[in-house]
Amino acid sequence: MLGYIACVDGSLLTDGDLALRPAGSLRNPWLREALADEGYPLPNLPLTRRTDADVVVVGGGYTGLWTVYHLLERDPQLRVVLLEMDICGGGPSGRNGGFVNGWWDELGLLRELFGSERALACAREVSRSVAEIGTWCERHAIDAQYRHGGMLTVSTTPLHDGSWRCSTDAAKRLGVEDAYRELSEAEVAGRCRSPVFRAGALMADAGTVHPARLARGLRAVCVARGALVHEGTHVRRIRREGSTVRIITESAAGEGEVRASQVVLALNAWAAGWRPFRRSLVTWSSWMVRTEPIPELIEERIGWIGGESIVDARFTVHYFHVTRDGRIAFGAGGGRPGYDGRIGRSFVDDLSSGRRAAAGFRRIFPQLADVRLTDMWGGPIDVGADHLPRFGTLAGGRIHFGFGYSGNGVAPSHLGGRILAGLILGTDEPITHLPLVGGVPRRFPPEPFRYVGARILREALVRREDGEERGLRPAPWLKILTGLPRRLGYHLGPD
Ligand SMILES: Cc1cc2nc3c(=O)[nH]c(=O)nc-3n(C[C@H](O)[C@H](O)[C@H](O)COP(=O)(O)OP(=O)(O)OC[C@H]3O[C@@H](n4cnc5c(N)ncnc54)[C@H](O)[C@@H]3O)c2cc1C
């Protein structure tokens, strides 16, 4: 295998891969590109005074921005303030894998948790969001490179064959078989060639975007509609006082305060550091690498021209798509967990997790051994006990929240924004009655047990799934260990 160097863990990397370093505190390439389009704007000024608002949204990622957008769409007179400690899109919304996928591949789980009718309602609403993100980009002339190409789940080892069947069977039973249907090995190869691809399943309701251009485009539209956006503004404390909520902030320029009637916490993995949500989340990192532009090689050597995004069937999933400029953006889930809700350096500066993404790419596409990887970056994901997001309102009725996307939040955060706007405005509509709203997800154990458990599970999952890719059946102890979360009632890890 020309150009490869075998690493101690058995993965194959090139010299160039070994020289690649995580972005760390530097901006990831998606965000660099989006900021370059905008002419490298200065961040909006931080909040340094006392002010009032009808609604304060904390967090300038998709959840916060879609909430602002939907609020102002419904009531343009609302005084909406958005507070973001970095810049809008500086979090995972500006650095994710760009998958805008529906939930038909989750249909089996949704049905098990909520029953057939409510499962269908959830999946239909996420599909609506997949489509609406595309039409929203067109309507607002935001070139987020939205492409509706479907999503392919593929098995890359005989031990993962048919792992989609719980959802494809559910789709058949519920009369929506075209939403998520099985593909033979030949059909998969007709869409993308890899020596490790076997059979798979195709979800039609799925697209891809340039994630940072979507986040920054949303910011621009929200600002144009009158939202007051303060960046570099860290929300330190939130206090309920009678019919108002005080939001106390700090920034490099000083302290600030907003009094509002309602607050939305759109904090993603950072929610795990806030008391009411601390036990509802585990934070893990997800990692990405990106190739140089190789449009011709992608067509000639792997025949991947249909715009499908692709995931394998691992729990520590590999996910990849082709960008408009002909690069492959390739991600690997299952990075390291965080401790006690702290989102520290390991989420952006963890070479071994970044290299796992590179190794995944090399294993799946050996035909591209001579292609250079140019970037490596990571970020936190917010994993809930059942792998699904939750939206709701804390006691007192003024503080709303949405989190728990579990690394799959691009389309669901659009739905989240619609739901949160509905909760704030008190409208009675089908989406505010979805089972994702108001329910209390199962809690995780307190620290240090949560961290230790997440760490052990992560190592065991990686070991099991790496072995399965080499055709090794997991040893009984490894099977028991990786199956433990399921037995304890968490929907994490393999069945
Ligand atoms: C590497 C990677 C790849 C991914 N790939 C995909 C994918 O392909 N498809 C998919 O669907 N999902 C993917 N995800 C997940 C997806 O990015 C998230 O689910 C989604 O962006 C969540 O949006 P959000 O607005 O809730 O969170 P975020 O974008 O994280 O926004 C939360 C914001 O809150 C801010 N904040 C936190 N605390 C405070 C505070 N105290 N004061 C002020 N501001 C605060 C943060 O700075 C952050 O900007 C991926 C995630 C990662 C890390």
**Which tens digit of pLDDT belongs to each residue from 195-222?**
999 999 999 999 999 999 999 999 999 9
How far, in Å, is the centroid of ligand 1 from the Cα of 91? 5
Any atom of ligand 1 within 6 Å of the Cβ of 317: no
Atom from ligand 1 closest to the CA of residue 88: 49
3-state DSSP assignment of residue 146: coil
CB-based contact 322:145 (threshold 8 Å): no
pLDDT digits (tens, 9 = 90+) for 322-368: 999 999 999 999 899 999 999 999 999 999 999 999 999 999 999 99
C-alpha closest to that of 281 among 448, 94, 450: 450
Nearest Cα residue to atom 22 of ligand 1: 409
| Distance of alpha carbon 137 from the chain centroid | 19
Mean pLDDT of 116-141: 98
Residue 6 pLDDT > 80: no
Condensed to tens digits (0 to 9), the pLDDT of residues 383-435 reads 999 999 999 999 999 999 999 999 999 999 999 999 999 999 999 999 999 99
Q: Band of the pLDDT at 8, cuts 50, 70, 90?
A: low
Is 247 in a helix, a strand, or coil?
strand
pLDDT at 3 over 90: no
- Separation of alpha carbons 39 and 42, rounded Å: 9
Query: What separation in Å is there between the alpha carbon of 110 and the centre of ligand 1?
Result: 23
**Is the C-beta atom of 61 inside 6 A of ligand 1?**
yes
Mean pLDDT taken over the chain: 96
For the question of whether the overall pTM of this predicted structure is more than 0.85, the answer is yes
- Residue 12's pLDDT is 87
CB neighbours of 473 closer than 8 A, spacing ≥ 6?
159
For 70-98, how does the pLDDT look when each residue is reduced to its tens digit (9 = 90+)? 999 999 999 999 999 999 999 999 999 99
Is the beta carbon of 30 within 6 A of some atom in ligand 1? Answer: no
**Is residue 42 exposed (0-12), middle (13-18) or buried (19+ Cβ within 10 Å)?**
exposed
Distance 381 CA to ligand 1 centre (A): 7
The average pLDDT across 265-272 equals 97
Please report, for residues 267, 275, 355, 408, 443, the alpha-carbon distance to residue 446 in angstroms, rounded to integers and kept in the order given. 20, 12, 31, 25, 9
DSSP string, 452-484: HHHHHHHHHHHHHHHHHHTTPPPPHHHHHHHHH
- The type of residue at 9 is D
Quick check: 471 and 158 in contact, CB under 8 A? yes
pLDDT band at 1 (very low <50, low <70, confident <90, very high): very low
Question: What are the backbone angles phi and psi of residue 444, rounded to the nearest 5°?
Answer: -90, 160
Q: For residue 390, what are the β-bridge partners?
A: 403
Vertex 83: Cα angle to 82 and 87 (nearest 5):
105
Q: How many whole angstroms from 266 Cα to the centroid of ligand 1?
A: 9
